[in-house]
């Protein structure tokens, strides 16, 4: 059994295990959710950071465990996700595989299907999104395709249960009938066929497992180290030491060497042959009634990925998303804040009534819980707006276009275009963006994306950025004009963050993380109408509440520490005041003051409390404070020495400083290294300090 075998929740040892495989963006997760309903579990493969989902599907025929594998384009594994999918399919974890395809792009999806069939696994092909294909005039002949592939093929619309019931019935029949003799054979170039034949003949005589000898011979010829280790753990190291097999492999490698086929060339030739065979199989299978079936997508792509229009549209769309977030988050944030502080007042009265010591009441209510309420009221509304908007763009098929547009700039930085997607995720939460870096195959490029993710501000920084922009650079403009101006200025700040991401990525790629950009597969899926209900559930439950929960976990302890610092007095001054005075000389070099710098340090658990901490220290009232209006806040800041230059320095430092503790811990978890976690904090901080010093020095010269 596989070394990283997943611990499955099986009702009994006889329950079949079915793998659900497919390319990204084929509706695989929708099929999984529809089949399993609420009978789902989420976990990780031991030793991996790859999440998995499994569920129990009960049908009229019986029940089975369904495992939703990470999306992959090929069984040639280049990432942890692809390796997990390959190992689960090929090495005995599953009784059968449901290979999900998109009905509107069968040729591309069949590449993976052919590789799975070639491995010898039992396969049922699920041609999903039949309704969408029909709207485009694409009518695949599933019966003909089934005949050519030699496996069952079922058309589905994941939202319609009858089609999924038919899929389950066909699957049940397939896993309870004797295995069929392997028939499908992908034709490879003559030199490769001659090389395969030698070890294949030996394997047919000494191997009796479910893996096809032809597929196993190909994989051994490929000399993939991770796959070789997997074969050793599955079949035993003595299997690969078989003298006849070793001689056969040596002969096969000599044939390939004589033909000038090295390992990279072998993979390219195998992939090209599979793609060509997939195209050949689809001849006559797909009937496109409309000759220009994808004309709409092409017209949209000319605009959204065009040379002159792509970047302006991205910036305008970013500004629009920020405008919506700014405009509609203030009211729910105020309601949450008022409700939370009202509850704290009731709790404070109750604790006073039962004789709770004042210090304990202060630490609990004014310290831990007040910060907790503040973080929830400030974080939740923007996230509840931003994440659904982000998910709608993802669901509609636009986010891959952003990665495509930004691929060239990132390639010039010796990085991967997929970093654009993780950077976009960072706008919602930098911790989520760091986790999202798993989609990048190359370890070097994944590290580049992780180390620079916090250069784009998360939504926890948005309220303070918007407040400072409004107070010092927008003034009394209100209503739609004020929020629009704030969104545009915020977009300019974000653009500065994106430029810094590219610059630092380039610097790291030629110093600490040298290397060339690797090739990767990026699919531009068809444009689709977003499923609003699904978007809301996925964005609110999977993203918003997850990120909020991690922030809440550190907010209360941070509130307690802040309360202690502002309520413990030494030599007629609080510890908070002493700390601010100590930091003051260095802070002045940055164009700040000690109070501002201390607020950033104490807000390590949550960026949302930086501005309230500044106000609390200036007012010396012992609790986090929010003034009744931005005008009053501006007057307080000016009274404590703030100028427009101070505001610019605070904005720069807000944009470039250490990420929150949740993000730092996430970096440690994803990289398994304290060194990279420390660098993820030091690199943006060093840039922020440098920019503040340069700006302050320039202003003071004039």
The pTM for the full model equals 0.71
Mean pLDDT of 296-324: 85
* Among 5-14, 322-331, 437-446, 558-567, the least confident range: 5-14
Measure the CA–CA gap between 566 and 556, rounded to whole angstroms. Answer: 16
The CATH architecture one would assign to domain 17-175 is 3-Layer(aba) Sandwich (3.40)
pLDDT for residue 182? 65
Measure the CA–CA gap between 421 and 401, rounded to whole angstroms. Answer: 10
Measure the CA–CA gap between 607 and 592, rounded to whole angstroms. Answer: 17
Nearest to 157 by CA among 167, 169, 142, 171: 167
> What fold, for 190-288?
Helix Hairpins (1.10.287)
In tens, the pLDDT along 204-231 reads 877 767 778 888 888 888 877 777 888 8
Mean pLDDT of 474-503: 78
Q: How many residues does the chain have?
A: 702
Q: How confident is the model at residue 475 (pLDDT cuts 50, 70, 90)?
A: low
pLDDT for residue 358? 86
Q: How confident is the model at residue 502 (pLDDT cuts 50, 70, 90)?
A: very high
What is the number of H-type helices and E-type strands within the chain?
31, 11
Asked whether residue 301 carries a pLDDT value surpassing 50, the answer given is yes
pLDDT for residue 595? 92
Angle CA 463–464–469, to nearest 5: 100
Angle CA 562–565–569, to nearest 5: 155
pLDDT for residue 42? 46
Asked whether residue 2 carries a pLDDT value surpassing 70, the answer given is no
Asked whether residue 582 carries a pLDDT value surpassing 90, the answer given is yes
Contacts 24+ apart (CB under 8 A), 531-534: 531/395, 532/392, 534/30, 534/395
Cβ pair 671, 450 in contact under 8 A = yes
Q: Tokens representing 617?
A: 């220290």
Q: How confident is the model at residue 191 (pLDDT cuts 50, 70, 90)?
A: very high
Q: Token pair 């802070």 is at which residue?
A: 587
Domains 17-175 and 190-288 share a fold: no
Angle CA 69–9–672, to nearest 5: 55
In tens, the pLDDT along 519-554 reads 566 667 777 777 777 677 666 666 666 666 766 676
Containing 52, the helix (H) or strand (E) segment is strand 51-58
Phi-psi sector, 2: left (phi>0), alpha (psi -120 to 50), beta: beta
In tens, the pLDDT along 603-619 reads 888 787 788 888 878 87
Q: Tokens representing 297?
A: 């997508």
pLDDT for residue 13? 64
Cβ pair 523, 101 in contact under 8 A = no
Measure the CA–CA gap between 374 and 371, rounded to whole angstroms. Answer: 5
Measure the CA–CA gap between 312 and 39, rounded to whole angstroms. Answer: 45
Q: Tokens representing 447?
A: 């590290």
- Angle between the N-to-C axes of helices 545-567 and 661-671, in degrees from 0 to 180, rounded to the nearest 10: 130
pLDDT for residue 1? 36
Q: How confident is the model at residue 496 (pLDDT cuts 50, 70, 90)?
A: very high
Cβ pair 162, 67 in contact under 8 A = no
Q: Token pair 């060194």 is at which residue?
A: 675
Share of the chain above pLDDT 90, in %: 23
Asked whether residue 44 carries a pLDDT value surpassing 50, the answer given is no
In tens, the pLDDT along 664-694 reads 999 998 898 999 999 999 999 999 999 999 9
In tens, the pLDDT along 421-468 reads 888 888 878 888 898 888 787 788 899 999 999 999 887 787 788 888
Measure the CA–CA gap between 414 and 502, rounded to whole angstroms. Answer: 10
Q: HSE, CB side, 13 Å, CA atoms: give it for residue 502.
A: 14
Please provide residue 269's backbone torsions phi and psi, each rounded to the nearest 5 degrees. Answer: -70, -40
Asked whether residue 482 carries a pLDDT value surpassing 80, the answer given is no
- Residue 562's Cβ-count burial label (10 Å; 0-12, 13-18, 19+) is buried
In tens, the pLDDT along 397-419 reads 888 888 888 888 888 888 887 88
Indicate the pairing of strand 17-22 with strand 96-102: parallel
Domain ranges of the chain: 17-175, 190-288, 310-701
Q: How confident is the model at residue 37 (pLDDT cuts 50, 70, 90)?
A: confident
Mean pLDDT of 330-353: 85
């Amino acid at each position: 059994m596989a070394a990283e075998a997943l611990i499955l929740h099986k009702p009994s040892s006889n329950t079949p295990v079915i793998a659900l495989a497919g390319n990204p963006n084929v509706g695989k997760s929708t099929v999984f959710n529809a089949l399993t309903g609420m009978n789902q579990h989420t976990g990780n493969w031991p030793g991996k950071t790859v999440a998995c989902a499994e569920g129990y599907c009960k049908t009229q025929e019986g029940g089975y465990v369904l495992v939703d594998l990470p999306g992959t384009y090929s069984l040639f594994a280049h990432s942890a996700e692809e390796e997990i999918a390959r190992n689960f399919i090929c090495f005995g974890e599953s009784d059968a595989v449901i290979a999900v395809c998109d009905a509107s792009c069968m040729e591309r999806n069949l590449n993976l299907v052919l590789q799975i069939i070639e491995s010898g696994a039992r396969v049922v092909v699920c041609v999903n999104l039949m309704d969408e294909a029909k709207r485009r005039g694409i009518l695949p002949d599933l019966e003909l395709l089934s005949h050519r592939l030699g496996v069952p093929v079922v058309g589905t619309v994941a939202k319609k249960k009858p089609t999924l019931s038919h899929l389950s019935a066909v699957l049940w029949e397939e896993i309870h009938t004797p295995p069929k003799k392997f028939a499908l054979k992908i034709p490879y170039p003559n030199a490769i066929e001659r090389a395969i034949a030698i070890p294949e003949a030996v394997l047919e005589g000494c191997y009796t497992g479910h893996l096809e000898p032809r597929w196993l011979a190909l994989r051994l010829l490929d000399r993939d180290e991770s796959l070789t280790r997997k074969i050793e753990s599955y079949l035993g190291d003595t299997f690969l030491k078989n003298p006849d097999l070793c001689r056969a492999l040596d002969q096969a490698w000599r044939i390939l060497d004589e033909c000038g086929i090295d390992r990279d060339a072998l993979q390219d030739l195998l992939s090209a042959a599979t793609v060509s065979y997939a195209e050949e199989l689809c001849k006559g299978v797909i009937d496109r009634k409309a000759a220009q079936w994808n004309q709409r997508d092409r017209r949209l792509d000319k605009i959204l990925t065009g040379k002159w229009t792509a970047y302006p549209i991205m910036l305008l769309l970013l500004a629009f998303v920020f405008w919506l977030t700014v405009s509609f988050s203030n009211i729910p944030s105020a309601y949450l804040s008022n409700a939370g502080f009202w509850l704290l007042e009731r709790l404070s009265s109750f604790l006073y009534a039962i004789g709770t010591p004042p210090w304990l009441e202060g630490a609990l209510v004014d310290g831990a819980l007040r910060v907790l309420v503040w973080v929830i009221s400030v974080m939740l509304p923007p996230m509840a707006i931003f994440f659904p908007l982000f998910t709608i763009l993802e669901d509609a098929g636009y986010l891959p276009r952003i990665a495509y547009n930004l691929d060239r700039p990132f390639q010039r930085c010796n990085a991967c275009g997929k970093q654009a997607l993780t950077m976009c995720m960072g706008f919602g939460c930098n911790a989520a963006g760091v986790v999202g870096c798993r989609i990048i195959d190359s370890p070097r490029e994944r590290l580049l994306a992780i180390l620079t993710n916090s250069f784009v501000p998360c939504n926890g920084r948005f309220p303070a950025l918007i407040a400072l922009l409004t107070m010092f650079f927008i003034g009394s403009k209100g209503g739609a004009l004020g929020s629009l101006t704030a969104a545009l200025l915020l977009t300019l700040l974000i653009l500065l963050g994106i430029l810094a991401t590219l610059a630092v990525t380039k610097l790291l790629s030629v110093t600490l993380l040298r290397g060339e950009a690797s090739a990767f597969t990026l699919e531009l899926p068809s444009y689709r109408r977003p499923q609003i209900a699904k978007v809301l559930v996925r964005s609110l439950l999977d993203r918003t509440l997850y990120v909020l929960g991690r922030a809440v976990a550190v907010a209360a302890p941070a509130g307690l520490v802040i309360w202690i610092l502002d309520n413990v007095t030494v030599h007629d001054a609080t510890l908070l005041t002493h700390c601010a005075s100590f930091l003051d000389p260095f802070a002045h070099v940055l164009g700040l003051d000690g109070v501002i710098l201390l607020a950033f340090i104490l807000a390590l658990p949550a960026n949302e409390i930086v501005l309230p901490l500044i106000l609390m220290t200036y007012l010396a009232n012992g609790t986090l404070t929010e003034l009744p209006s931005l005008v009053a806040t501006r007057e307080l800041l000016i009274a404590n020495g703030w100028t427009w230059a101070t505001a610019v320095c605070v904005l720069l430092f807000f944009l470039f400083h250490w990420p929150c503790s949740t993000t730092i811990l996430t970096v440690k978890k994803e990289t398994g290294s304290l060194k990279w976690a420390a660098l993820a904090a030091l690199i943006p901080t060093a840039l922020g300090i440098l920019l503040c010093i340069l700006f302050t020095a320039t202003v003071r010269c004039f």
